[in-house]
Amino acid sequence: AFVGQTTDAATGTASIIVNSEGQNVIVIVPGANLLLNSEDLKRASDVICKAKVVVCQLEITPAVSLEALKMARASGVKTIFNPAPALADLDSQFYTHSDIFCCNETEAEILTGIPVGNLEDAEKVGHVLLERGCKLVIVTLGAEGCMMISVEEPIPKHVPAGKVRAVDTTGAGDSFVGALAFYLAYYPKLPMEEMIRKSNCVASVSVQASGTQSSYPYRKDLPQDLF
C-alpha cells in the first residue's frame, strides 16, 4: 500500500556472485531506496504503530530507519534491527531502540572491530553490543547457527543449526530475520531460544535452493512442527 514510484532514481539493485560452496559477494546500488523519507514514514505511521513487529535495516537512509524504530517503540511495537549493510559509525540510538539486534559475522566485525571466527568471538561481540545499550543480541554464524545474549540472560547461549548442503547462502540472514519476526508476532509466548531454533530451520531450508527470494520456502513446504 505504501510503495511509490519516482523519476528521480532507478530501482535499487543488488548484483550477487555465488561460488561453488554457496558463499556470496553482493554489490548493492541503493538507487530509489535512499529517497524514502520522513514524509513516507508519516503516511505509513498508522500501520507501523499498530504492527506486532517492525523490522528495520540499512538499505534505506539510516536516519529514516532510526525514525521508524523510534515510532514503533513509542507505540509499544516489538522492534528487530538488522544492521545490513553495516556501518562502522552507526548512530548509537540504534542499539537502544532495538528490542532485538541481529547481525552476522561480517556486520559484527564492522560494528565492533572484533573479527568473528568462532563462538568466543561472537560472545565478545555480544558483550560489546550489550554495553552499547542493546537488550537482546543475536549474532548469526552461518552453518554454526547463532549466538544469543541478553540483558536478562547475560550468559551467552549457542543455538546450533542442522547440517545441510548449502547451494546458495544469499538471503539466509533475511530468511532468518523474517522467520524470527513471524514467531514474535504469531507465537509471542515461545521462549526466545526456541524462536531462534525454528528460525535457523527456515534459514537452513533457504540455503538449499538457488536465488534469494526464490529460495524462501512456503509454509506448506516446511516441517509442520515449526508451527
Kindly list the catalytic residues: 174
What's phi and psi for 159, nearest 5 deg? Answer: -110, 100
The torsion defined by the Cα of 191, 193, 199 and 200, in degrees rounded to 10, comes to: -160
User: Do 11 and 32 touch, CB atoms closer than 8 A?
Assistant: yes
Residue-level length of the chain: 227
Query: 114 Cβ partners below 8 Å, 6+ apart?
Result: 108, 121, 124, 125, 128
